[in-house]
Amino acid sequence: MTASGTSVAVCAVDDLAPGQAQRFDVGDHRVAVVRIGDDFYALGDQCSHADFSLAEGEVLVDDLEIECWKHGSTFSLTTGEPQSLPATKPVPVFAVTVTDGQVMVSVA
pLDDT at 108: 76
Q: Are 54 and 41 in contact (CB under 8 A)?
A: no
Total domains in the chain come to 1
**Max intra-chain CA distance, the chain:** 39
pLDDT tens per residue across all 108 residues of the chain: 444 457 999 999 999 999 999 999 998 999 999 999 999 999 999 999 998 999 999 999 999 999 999 999 999 999 999 999 999 999 999 999 999 999 999 987
For residues 42 and 9, the answer to whether their CB atoms sit within 8 Å is no
Q: What does the pLDDT read at residue 104?
A: 97
Domain containing 93 — which CATH number? 2.102.10.10
The answer to whether the peptide bond before residue 18 is cis (omega within 30 degrees of 0) is no
Rg value, the chain, Cα: 13
What pLDDT is stored for residue 5 in this prediction? Answer: 53
| Domain hosting residue 39, numbered range | 2-106
